[in-house]
Structure 1
Amino acid sequence: MITVESVSKSFNGKKAVDTVSFQANDQEILVLLGTSGCGKTTTLKMINRLIEADSGNILINGKNIQSQKVEEVRMGIGFVMQHSGLFPHYTIQQNIAVIPDLMKWDKKRTADRIRELLPKLHLSEDVLSRFPHELSGGQQQRVGIARALISDSPILLMDEPFGALDNITKANIHAEFKSLEELKTKTIVLVTHDVQEAFDLGHKICLMDKGKIIQTGTPKEMLYWPKNNFVKNFFTENRLLLEYKVATLKDLNALIDEHHFYEKLQFSEHTSVWDALQQLSADVSLSEDYESLVKAFNEYRKFQIV
């Protein structure tokens, strides 16, 4: 668990982060969302002391990070940075092995762990002898994630990890990210300016502006119960798509034929309306099911819109 209490940071007399507080629970993905310059990356980097806070407290599992050596704090935290952050003069194997080498793992342990991670991240062993410039953007990001996961730290910090990727590659990696068992046991704080990414990946979102957290909540809470006009307007451009994504079939139980959708069509209660519609739209024989689900969603939506 990560607890951030009234943390502030100024640069040259100007506040970049202003009395920020939040809590990321165990096995939760918390997203710091906002436009460039809002303070989200500075906030993230204070958690592993890449930037030192001016005031306030940051606790990991109840222990103040200021009471520990910087090296101790960072050894328990994986870090994925924008543009993968790979060392260009290192091979992929050497890049992934940076932390194990610092921790003085023996070579066999490191090699075994790398080979355990590669298939989970859809990477083949032949990439190990290559250099970063020889890989695609998507492959580089997967390697960056492998490097952060190799020591199996309980906490993962991610700074715009998918920001440099094209939309198709980003969508594929998002799907892989959500299904990766290695990540389901970790507490993750992810920074992004991408609203759809925040909704796709986050269990909880902290929306930031001008160094402050304006509202914290689940994707559904942010969309349907905004604290003020700033929050409401922030999601206006993508609103309909986001509504489809935050609604699950369980939300529509009273409006759909549950037996048909869950037993015949094999959907789960936790399937988002968006994912269900995507699957139904691919099969023309299911057009009636598609139409009935759209109708049910529209009925549900009437009672949610603020």
Structure 2
Amino acid sequence: MISLKGVSKNFGEIKAVDSISIDAYDKEILVLLGISGCGKTTTLKMINRLIETDGGTITIDGKNIRSGRPEDLRKSIGFVMQHAGLFPHYTIKKNIAIVPDLLGWNTKRIHDRTQELMQKLRLDPSLLNHYPHELSGGQQQRVGIARAIIANAPILLMDEPFGALDAITKSAIHSEFKNLDELQNKTIILVTHDIMEAFELGHRICLMDKGHIVQIGTPREMLYNPANNFVKDFFAHNRLLLEYKIADVTDVIVFIKEPLSVAAQDQLSKSVTVLQALEIFGSDNKFNKDYELLSQAFNHYRKLKKA
């Protein structure tokens, strides 16, 4: 577990982070969300000491991060930067191998692990001898993830990792990211200003403003139990789509007025959220009635949640 207690950081007279306390739990994805300048990236970089704290303490599994050298700390933490952050004068192979080289891995071990990740991240092995500028944005971002997880560190920090990607590429990488088995047993802290991304990937969301934590909670808690008007207003513009994303089919199926078709019921076993189910139903005219029934049930569910 990563624990921040009363952590602060000032840049001159500006309080970038003002005495915040938060825990990131084992095997969870905690999203730091907010507009530019709210303190989320500063908070992230204090965890691996790219930025040093001015006050408070940060511990990992009970050990103060300042008890050892910053270099040793960073070897035990994966880090994905904005725009992939690859070294332009290194080949892809050399970029991925940076941490294993520092850890003293032998050539075969680095080669085998690199090949494994190239396959899992759907990267052609022929790209290993290329340079970053020769890859697309999506390919560069996958390489950045490979570099961050190659040593299988228990902690992964991600600073706006998908911010530079187009919507289609971002959606594909989100899906791969969630299903990558290497990430299932890690504590992940992800910084983003993208509300949809936060709801798509986060187990919990920490909403920040002007160096303070406004609210921490699950996506459902942020929408249905906002701590104040700031939280309510922050999500208001995207609220309907966010509700589609977080509502499970099992939440709303009890409100369906009549049985769905057998084919629709078979399809529901393949979907988790109402949004996923409606996307399936909307792609085939034979599900028109099922689409309408599920939509009506969802609207009834929404009214109850608002009440």
Q: Which interval holds the TM-score relative to the shorter structure?
A: over 0.9
Judge conservation of contact 1:44–1:157 (CA < 8 Å) in 2.
yes
Partner Cα separation in structure 1 for residue 289 and residue 227 of structure 2: 38
Identify the residue that residue 163 of structure 1 maps to in structure 2: 163
Partner Cα separation in structure 2 for residue 66 and residue 283 of structure 1: 58
| Percent pairwise identity | 61
| 1:134-189 deviation line (CA, Å, top 9, x unaligned) | 00000000000000010000100000000000111111111111111111111100
Identify the residue that residue 222 of structure 1 maps to in structure 2: 222
User: Relative to structure 2, which stretch is displaced further, 179-188 or 87-96?
Assistant: 179-188
Judge conservation of contact 2:253–2:294 (CA < 8 Å) in 1.
no
Structure 2 vs 1, CA of residues 128 and 59 (structure 1 numbering), >3 Å: closer, same or farther? same
TM-score, normalised to structure 1, is: 0.96
TM-score, normalised to structure 2, is: 0.96
Q: CA deviation at 1:262?
A: 10
Structure 2 vs 1, CA of residues 130 and 246 (structure 1 numbering), >3 Å: closer, same or farther? same
Judge conservation of contact 2:203–2:218 (CA < 8 Å) in 1.
yes
Give, as a single letter, the amino acid of the residue that structure 1 aligns with 2:166: D
Structure 2 vs 1, CA of residues 278 and 110 (structure 1 numbering), >3 Å: closer, same or farther? same
Partner Cα separation in structure 2 for residue 112 and residue 269 of structure 1: 34
- SS class of match (1:128): helix
Q: CA deviation at 1:263?
A: 8.7
Identify the residue that residue 208 of structure 2 maps to in structure 1: 208
Partner Cα separation in structure 2 for residue 184 and residue 245 of structure 1: 21
Partner Cα separation in structure 1 for residue 21 and residue 197 of structure 2: 22
- SS class of match (2:306): coil
- SS class of match (1:235): helix
User: Relative to structure 2, which stretch is displaced further, 173-182 or 185-194?
Assistant: 173-182
Identify the residue that residue 142 of structure 2 maps to in structure 1: 142
Partner Cα separation in structure 1 for residue 177 and residue 218 of structure 2: 19
Aligned pairs for 1:125-140 (under 5 A) are: 125-140=125-140
Q: CA deviation at 1:13?
A: 2.2
Q: CA deviation at 1:124?
A: 1.1
Give, as a single letter, the amino acid of the residue that structure 1 aligns with 2:2: I
Identify the residue that residue 178 of structure 1 maps to in structure 2: 178
Does 2:57 correspond to 1:79?
Answer: no
Give, as a single letter, the amino acid of the residue that structure 2 aligns with 1:119: Q
| 1:39-74 deviation line (CA, Å, top 9, x unaligned) | 000000000010111111111112111122212211
Equivalent residues, number: 306
Judge conservation of contact 1:38–1:210 (CA < 8 Å) in 2.
yes
- SS class of match (1:156): strand
- SS class of match (1:109): helix
Identify the residue that residue 250 of structure 1 maps to in structure 2: 250
Structure 2 vs 1, CA of residues 250 and 262 (structure 1 numbering), >3 Å: closer, same or farther? farther
Judge conservation of contact 2:261–2:290 (CA < 8 Å) in 1.
no
Give, as a single letter, the amino acid of the residue that structure 1 aligns with 2:151: S
Identify the residue that residue 276 of structure 1 maps to in structure 2: 277
- SS class of match (2:78): strand
Judge conservation of contact 1:248–1:269 (CA < 8 Å) in 2.
no
User: Unmatched 5+ residue regions in structure 2?
Assistant: none
Q: CA deviation at 1:225?
A: 0.7
- SS class of match (1:285): helix
Judge conservation of contact 1:9–1:18 (CA < 8 Å) in 2.
yes
| RMSD across aligned positions (CA) | 1.7
